Structure 1
Amino acid sequence: MLDTFQGLPVHALIVHATVVLLPLAAIAVALAAVHARFRAWIGWIAPAAAVACVVLTQLTVMSGNKLYARFERVHGVSKDLEHHKSLAHLLIWLVIPLAVIAVASYFLHRREDASKAVLGLVGALAVASAVSVMVDVALIGHAGATSAWKPIVENTNR
């Protein structure tokens, strides 16, 4: 299912959605947790986007595993590709907490009796989680681009 679509690897198609939507969701979750006006404006969209990104991330990793297996059979695996894969497999373990924090923050901010200390802690966790997700996405993207393009650039520099 997540192997190819019209002759192209699904990973090459779906990864772009992940690279755009996941950082946007992370920023929205962090802002909603610490900024009342933004939270009032975005409402349930931030936690819903974070939960959707759990699914999107898993689909991206699954499609990447399919492409990795194809590539391994034909070309073997470089250290750059292996690094890309290991960073990508970490991402879901960063996105799940982001989604949990987003949902918790959404419901805690709706409670009249939520303490400022708890809301402050949730805000700090949301920001830390968002930053960790965005850093990993950037590292994954760099490792993926390196594994894809470095051999081509090296072979055309002669």
Structure 2
Amino acid sequence: MSTFNGLPAHVLFVHVIVVLVPLTAGLLILCAVWPAARARLIWPAVVLSVVVTALMPITVDAGEWFQHRLGDPPVVDEHARLGHQMVYFVAPLLITAALLVFLHLRQGRGRPLGRTVVAVIAVLVLAAGGAAAWQTYRVGDSGAHAVWNGVIDH
């Protein structure tokens, strides 16, 4: 999909990503460090991690279409480079969500994992969530600079 109602689809998808990636990261971190939150929020967090992972290639494809439509301005190259890297930041969200589901199901069956394993999972979730949120900021910031510094004419 290249446009939606006359707007570049990338612009619309990006706003979804900018909201959902940090939200997903935050929910996963909450689930990792607070067992009561995990009991209530694990499934919405897993659904969000699947959604952001599925939306990432769609957003990148729409961005490539938009970039070519603009004539490949050099300042957009940095944004595109960072955007292509996002898959390496959302995939760990999905992986750590799966680890949290494993932890949740084990505890629900009365077979909790050891503290060390739980701590390692929590550290992995914190690292994946923090990295995904930071990369989302970097990609968004480079795109905003491209727009607001006059590269994209309206």
Q: Does residue 114 of structure 1 match 2:109?
A: no
Contact 1:9–1:67 (CA under 8 A) maintained in structure 2: yes
Moved over 4 A (4+): none
Q: CA deviation at 1:6?
A: 2.0
Specify the alignment match of 1:145 in structure 2.
144
Contact 1:109–1:119 (CA under 8 A) maintained in structure 2: no
Specify the alignment match of 1:82 in structure 2.
77
Secondary structure of residue in 2 paired with 1:151: coil
TM-score (norm 1): 0.88
Q: CA deviation at 1:93?
A: 0.9
Contact 2:25–2:132 (CA under 8 A) maintained in structure 1: yes
Quote the sequence identity (%): 31
Specify the alignment match of 1:44 in structure 2.
43
Secondary structure of residue in 2 paired with 1:114: coil
Secondary structure of residue in 2 paired with 1:110: helix
Specify the alignment match of 2:54 in structure 1.
55
TM-score (norm 2): 0.90
Contact 1:105–1:119 (CA under 8 A) maintained in structure 2: no
Q: CA deviation at 1:149?
A: 1.1
- 1:73-102 per-residue CA deviation (whole Å, 9 max, x = no partner) reads xxx412x21111111111111101110111
Specify the alignment match of 1:29 in structure 2.
28
Q: CA RMSD in A?
A: 1.5
Distance 1:61 1:116 in 2: 39
Q: Which runs of 5+ in 1 are unaligned?
A: 153-158
Distance 1:106 1:127 in 2: 15
The letter for the 2-side match of 1:81 is V
The letter for the 2-side match of 1:4 is T
- 1:4-55 per-residue CA deviation (whole Å, 9 max, x = no partner) reads 1222100111111111111101110111011112111213111121111101
Q: Does residue 97 of structure 1 match 2:92?
A: yes
